[in-house]
Each structure stands twice: as C-alpha cells, then as structure tokens.
Homo-oligomer: A and B are copies of this chain.
Amino acid sequence: MATFKAGLVGVTGYAGMELARLLAGHEQIELVRATSRSDAGKTLCELYPSLTGTCLSELVITQPDPDDLAQACDIVFMAVPHGTAMDMAAKLLSRNVRVVDLSADFRLRDADIYAQWYGLEHREPQLIEDAVFGLPELYADKIKDAKLIANPGCYPTSAILGLYPALKAGIVETDGIVIDSKSGTTGAGRGANVGSLFCEVSDSFRAYNLGKHRHTPEIEQELSAISGEDLKISFNTHLLPINRGILSTSYTRLKKNLQLEDIFGLYSEVYSTAPWVRVLKRGTLPETRWVRGTMYCDIGLVVDPRTNRLIVVSAIDNLCRGASGQALANANLMLGLELSTGLNLAPLVP
C-alpha cells in the first residue's frame, strides 16, 4: 500500500530517531534511505534496537548522497543542524525532490535576521521565498503546494499555537508579551556533551539563553504576521529533566476585561477544525505527559483579574509535534495524503 518513498538525512539525532519511529508505523510512506556520516553501514536496528522487528529493522544506513537520494525518494526529510541543511536542500530541490527541512535554515523570511541570530550568511537565499513555514493550523493550503517546507522549531510551535487566536482577534496588547518556556532534554540534542549527561540534568532544573534564544525571531516573525504589528517578545527558555515535552507559559495583557468563557469560546472556534489542538476545559491546565508521543498541542487558558492578564499555557511533545511528527504531517499534505495519516497516536501516559 505504500505509495511514496522517503529519505531521511541525519538519522542519528533525536529528530531522526523519532521520524524513524513514526515512519515504522506509516502505511503510505516508506523509508527507503536513512543517512548518517558516522553510522553508515549499520542497520537501523543496530543503531536503534527499539526498531528490531519492525519494517525498518534491516534498512542499511548510508552516506548522504544527493544523487542517490534524488533517485530513490519522492521526499526527503532533513534532520541535520542548521547551516548544513541548506546545501543539501538546494541540491535535492534542483533534482525535483520535495524537501522537509527540520533545521532553521529556511524558517526566517529575512536572510539578514538569519545571519544576525545564527551567525552565518545564508548561502541559498533565493530559496527562502519559496519555503513554506510548516505549521498546518496556519498554512495548510500553502503546504499542499510547497516543494520546500521550513519545519517550525519546537518552541515556536508551542508559542505560536498558544497565542494565535488571541493575537488574531486582537484581544491582547502586542507589546510586553513574556513567554516562559520549558523544554525536555531531547531538545538539547543527542550530541555527547557533558551538560546533557544524565547526572548533570537529572533532579535539577535550570534556565538558559534568556533573552537570546535563536527561536526568538521565528516566533516574532509569525506573531507579527498574525497580529499585523511588528512585535517584540521576551522569550526565555529552561531545561526540564524529562525526555519529551515543551510547556510554554505566555503572559499577555488583555486590552479590555474579558471573561474566561469568551476567550475559551474564541480559542475553541479558531481551532474547531484543527484535529490536534485541544483547548482544555476551564480549570484544566496542560501537562506534558498528556501529549507524549503525539501531535497534540494542549492549551490551557487563565484570566487573572488582579493583573488583567491572559495567561496561556501550551504544551506539545517537542520531538513529535515540535519536530518529526510535524514534518511528517507536512509530508502528508505535500504528497496529497490525509493530514493525519500515520499520526493518529494516543498519548503514552504514564
């Protein structure tokens, strides 16, 4: 029944691992290439024993080769660091292969802002214009026609989905927004760094990159587009001793007094056709475990009358919704499949 063939460049990181997990259960996209510079030659089950016995078990990892990928694949997922994705993406696009880029290389519409935040010049700026920001709730129609998807960052996915209805409806002030985000440790990647060791993370909690996380311009770009104003946000990140999950607490000021019920109604309306955004009932706040392993974005709403603030709590699985699952959803749309093909997953709780 598989009708499309996919490649995965960069299988050794957590995004690659997650994409392999999801593709092992996808009946219409077959993973035919998985590449890695360091692990080429191994089978997937040697790299990830968890995949033993699945349909991907014996797939042999190869060196990344654009010609080979172009010949073998209808679509290629790029799960490599920013800066290295853009070159391969350009090569694949020139060979008429669809690309879903999980790195940051094509997310920012302005190459100068990219250069400023990522510290390197963009080498394929002409591709930026064609790239579609792959957030299905906002851009499904464009995604269907895209050849190149800039898959959103994990933090931006949680923040944008959380603030979208409020900013679109114009019920909150656009200045002074604070987003306090907390991410599980898969967000730090699978590189062998002392700071990511179990004994450096476990039973602890820390802030990092306050005021200067690279996802800031991505969030500002999208929230500005939504609100029609040039927004500046205070975006700040923390590291959680959990594997998966991002929870963002966003602080806004209401323009006028609104009841929680009204805002709940607004959010429910905006997301009425979005299969994965769950606006939780009054009094229920998200927990990262409730979205574990899935595409859900859970949203909790609080109105604080003492300070006249709307506080929005949004939670996603940073690996699935915030990276590989969203990439697969984009691929589904690009390939003419149902958005949720292979992605109707029940959260693993506990």
Contacts and interface: CB of A to CB of B under 8 A. Distances in A.
Interface of A: 14, 17, 21-22, 24-25, 48-54, 176, 178, 180, 182, 184-186, 190, 192-194, 196-208, 210-212, 232-234, 236, 238, 240-245, 247, 249, 251, 253, 275-276, 278, 280, 284-293, 296, 298, 300, 302-304, 306-307, 309, 311, 313, 344-350
B180 A249 contact: yes
A186 to B, nearest CB: 5
Contacts of A204: 242, 245, 287-289, 292, 350
B286 A206 contact: yes
A48 B249 contact: no
A184 B240 CA distance: 11
Most B CB within 10 A of own CB, among A182, A196, A287, A290: A287
B236 A49 contact: no
A178 B346 CA distance: 35
Contacts of A253: 176
13 contacts: A17-B349, A50-B290, A185-B197, A197-B197, A198-B202, A202-B203, A203-B203, A203-B242, A203-B244, A203-B289, A207-B249, A210-B302, A232-B307
A45 to B, nearest CB: 9
Nearest to A306: B232
Contacts of A211: 302-304, 306-307, 309, 311
- Copies per complex? 4
Closest 3 CB pairs of A and B: A211-B304, A204-B289, A206-B287
Nearest to A276: B53
A178 B310 CA distance: 12
A306 B211 CA distance: 8
Contacts of A53: 275-276, 278, 296
